[in-house]
Structure 1
């Protein structure tokens, strides 16, 4: 019998209530927090009974409107603020039970953080800004500068290493912030609205860059955003919050196809399913006796990018994994159903990733 893989981050019934009587009020509620009663007691709830796991290499996007509790939850998990109740474990260690020295060690060695504010030091160059956290750890100037230069190249800012922040565009400044957070080689990467201050075009470029970096680095990521399109584009899973409660946590495809509440449904109504679903999500089981088309598609390809090719074929199209092995098939019928049919009739394959 195999041992279950331990999550990198584990949250158990996490609460954050702001106000002098927070803990007293929470005890009286017996775990069933009523927002109105909290307001009457002079308290405001930031996070309400959040429980979830994040596994190694996974990108969980925490999404919600302003005041939903998404940034508060991220700050609880990084312990930038103290929780009112609950448990948080990092690699199996009790985060809330750590003393100051242990907490500093975890932040320096396991956590990388990027915020909406670039927070670059204006009198230091790009290279010096990136090297700063390494020097705080006691790494020599020579070694920290060499590592910082590696990060400059990674985020494709080569040639700007001696520039000052005022000489960079907003997107370039955010790249410096990203490089600085990666310089310490964190196991976990926490990003709080990192692109929200950028122009739409630059934001799209930064999303592309972020996806490129993740394909190389495979970090465990918590990414906070208020932009549903951004969440759909980046996430392995999405947690949507409202009034401190996680209304639904699931894959982008399942959230779009099966919204758990009316609140979630409002976000998903305008989303075109073919722009969210991948081939592996809707592929049918492969029968070795099937007469296949000459064309093939990747299991990770989004339906929107392959629909025209599949629709033009009379025969089923093979879906291939990274090793070019056939793991399923697509046909024009299922593509039409995705684009124009009822969502509850779609044969969604939730285990496709693990099976492939």
Structure 2
């Protein structure tokens, strides 16, 4: 991402050989030897574009005289495939993007968001490992754009492709990207996770770029929590962990590192996994909420504010990894505003794709 003219789209076009760089290489994994589109001959480039790399353009690039099915089939028609096989693949991809009932319509009969889905289906039809997306959502209305971002994230959870997405919208980049390359005047000035970009800007340019970002949307449990190793213990019984600053909430750990006996205000407590359907304000006082390490700062703040109690973060095996209190959240927000990592020594976790 970066401002207009920073070189985003030019760099993207280097990845599939549309632009030849003056120096440097692009290496595509998955074959032996690895392929470099910047040095490939015409036939190799053609095969890369047919099978390995697909592209989604900003203005959809749909052919108006072709139906949706015919537009999506375009890349497949250059392969040695029968019409029945092509139609089966196309129909599957149109169903995947929610346009199965529109396959015989023409682009002019569709909304902007639907046209963008056709472009995405066309890119997916070749089953390429790598998708290049050149500001594909920038021409859409804000509400449609947000919905398309949700759909793209949902597709990625299913397809697990390598997606390289160009954007000049910071909110979009932070929402979609697992890693962000921030560009200025043709150079990559910082590469990192969204949390790293926001909390540890590498240059004054990056600092200005992220100055107005709300850390609630970016920081994750791994960069907020007080890790297990630093939790204080009861002086009278070293087996008991103090989960908040007052010692109101306490627990022991099992041999496997999972929360054991839980105490809240001297009474037996219990754990409940966070779910968006929970009415937090209505939970009884004997409940502590748990969540995964990927829990967002917004969720942790909501849990703390609504229950008045800390949130426990567990790994995939149910082991306690740390605790988030309102104090930890405040410290994280101050750290983000000062351009520092919120919790030194704790690696921020990816937020998205």
Q: Would you say same fold, with TM above 0.5?
A: yes
| Distance in 2 separating the partners of 1:352 and 1:346 | 9
Q: Tell me the residue number matched to 1:147.
A: 89
The CA RMSD measured in Å over matched residues stands at: 2.1
Are 1:163 and 2:102 an aligned pair?
Answer: no
1:131 Cα deviation from its structure 2 partner: 1.7
Aligned equivalent of 1:77, options 15, 31, 37 = 15
The answer to whether the 8 A contact 1:236-1:252 is kept is yes
Aligned position for 1:66 = 4
- 2:340 is aligned, of 334, 338, 344, to 344
1:303 corresponds, among 297, 301, 313, to 297
Asked whether 1:244 is paired with 2:240, we answer: no
Give 2:312's aligned residue: 318
* Change over 3 Å in CA distance of 1:162–1:312 after alignment to 2: same
1:334/1:117 CA distance change after superposition, 3 Å: same
- Counterpart secondary structure, 1:186: coil
User: For residue 268 of structure 1, what is the aligned residue in structure 2?
Assistant: 210
1-structure distance, mates of 2:181, 2:67: 37
What is the deviation of 1:133? 1.2
Indicate the residue corresponding to 2:143 in structure 1: 201
In 2, the alpha carbon distance for the partners of 1:303 and 1:351 equals 15
Q: Post-superposition shift, 1:289?
A: 4.3
1:294 is matched with 288
From the superposition, tell whether residues 142 and 299 of structure 1 become closer, same or farther in structure 2 (CA, over 3 Å).
same
Greater displacement, 279-288 / 183-192? 279-288
Residues in 1 aligned to 2:320 and 2:91: alpha-carbon distance in whole angstroms: 41
Partner of 2:324: 330
Q: Is the 8 A contact 2:195 2:348 kept in 1?
A: no
- Say which of 136, 144, 154 aligns to 2:78: 136
TM-score (norm 2): 0.77
For residues 323 and 137 of structure 1, the distance between their equivalents in structure 2, rounded to whole angstroms, comes to: 46
Aligned in 2, Cα 1:335/1:289: closer, same or farther, shift over 3 Å? same
| 1:104-119 equivalent positions in 2, closer than 5 A | 104-119=46-61
Aligned length: 292
Going from structure 1 to structure 2, the CA distance change for 1:160 and 1:322 (only over 3 Å counts) comes to farther
Q: In structure 2, what is the Cα distance between the partners aligned to 1:323 and 1:161?
A: 45
Offset of residue 279 of structure 1: 1.4
Equivalent position of 2:27 in the other structure: 89
Length-normalised TM-score, structure 1: 0.77
Residue matched to 1:280: 222
1:187-209, CA deviations, whole angstroms, 9 ceiling, x for partnerless residues?
Answer: 01100010111111111111111
Is residue 187 from structure 1 mapped to residue 129 from structure 2 by the alignment? yes
**Paired residues of 1:280 and 1:349 also in contact (CA < 8 A):** no
Give structure 1 stretches of 5+ with no counterpart: 1-62
Question: What is the CA–CA distance in structure 2 between the aligned matches of 1:249 and 1:256, rounded to whole Å?
Answer: 11
Contact 2:221/2:293, CA 8 A, preserved across alignment: yes
Distance 1:180 1:282, change over 3 A: same
Structure 2, unpaired ranges of 5+: 230-238, 242-249, 252-286
Q: Which residue of 2 aligns with 1:16?
A: none
Kindly report structure 1 stretches of 4+ aligned residues shifted beyond 6 Å: none
Partner of 1:44: none
